[in-house]
Amino acid sequence: MDTKELLKKVRQIEIKTKKQSNDILTGSYHSAFKGRGLTFSEVRPYSFGDDIRRIDWKVTARLSEPHVKIMEEERELTILLLVDHSASMSYGTKNAEKSDYVAEIAALITLSALKNNDKVGLITFTDKVEKVLKPAKGRFHALKIIRELIFNDNFSPYSSINDAIQYVNKVFKRRTIIFLISDFLIDDYNEKHFRKLCAYHDVTVIRVQDPIEKIIPTLGYIKITDIESNTSYWINLNKKNVQSYIEYRNKKNEQVKKMFEKFSAGFIDLTTNDNYLKSLIKYFSEK
């Protein structure tokens, strides 16, 4: 993709997701996550019903009238997008590649964070951490995140989420709002790392799959290529084998979901033909 095409695509995604973030998502996003605590706002005269524990005794003594401290939520949050960039994310059939779909979701979250004056960062991973954009504010930084998600098409054939989780556990010491986005087609999960991640941070898992990964057509013998290992196979997609695969895939999908729910992480399940805006609005409003 040349520079002109890249800038055009960044602009298209910005326009589309900016309009969406101006809808009710921003309000839902704002109320879904709590700040780090309370910070002092002002002192005002005591009113009947005020909590006497908030009386400012120094001001009260100075003015000879009871005054109370008013506290407000410290709103600034740190948002981290943790995005799978392995080769399976470049797969797509009817509507879009999973990576393009994810780029729009990430852009929407980024611009919503921007409107709420929150910091937002990005980590992409394959079987290792690939790219790190430290959390920051501002439109330029937001566009840098979007650019990174749509420009980097050098997908690795290898996939493992464990190194990325360990990196976050090591580097991010303060509470962070984490959106972990992947197709979760891998099986090498280290529950210890996930448990620690969810214990220290507010984690939302977004699983993105292509529709055909859930419903396989019966096509008889076909040749397929594993885009992560680049290995080709002949397989028989008869009714029996297709049914066995669907049952296996459903079992794996349910195991992943239950693992994250066990650690109190939020979970959003999407395919690339779903309206992600509606799903995110519903999730934020119910959180």
- Structure tokens, 241: 């084998």
Is pLDDT at 209 greater than 80 in this prediction?
Answer: yes
Query: What is the CB neighbour count within 10 angstroms for residue 225?
Result: 10
β-pairing, 129-136 vs 119-125, is antiparallel
Measured in Å, how far apart are the chain's first and last C-alpha atoms? 38
Handedness of CA 169, 256, 214, 284 (dihedral sign): negative
Strands (E), 75-219: 78-84, 119-125, 129-136, 177-182, 202-209
Integer Cα distance of 46 and 28 in angstroms: 33
Q: What is the CA radius of gyration of the chain?
A: 23
The whole-model pTM stands at: 0.77
Handedness of CA 212, 216, 219, 220 (dihedral sign): positive
Integer Cα distance of 150 and 99 in angstroms: 8
The listed range with the strongest mean pLDDT (103-107, 217-221, 245-249) is 103-107
Q: Number of helices (H) and strands (E) in the chain: give both, helices first.
A: 9, 10
- Structure tokens, 273: 């033909």
Question: What digits encode the pLDDT tens for the residues 98-113?
Answer: 988 998 899 889 988 8
Domains in the chain (CATH in brackets) are 3-32+75-286 (3.40.50.410), 37-74 (no CATH)
- Structure tokens, 51: 């909590």
Lowest-pLDDT range, 114-118, 136-140, 193-197, 229-233? 229-233
Residues, the chain: 287
What pLDDT, on the 0 to 100 scale, is given for residue 229? 67
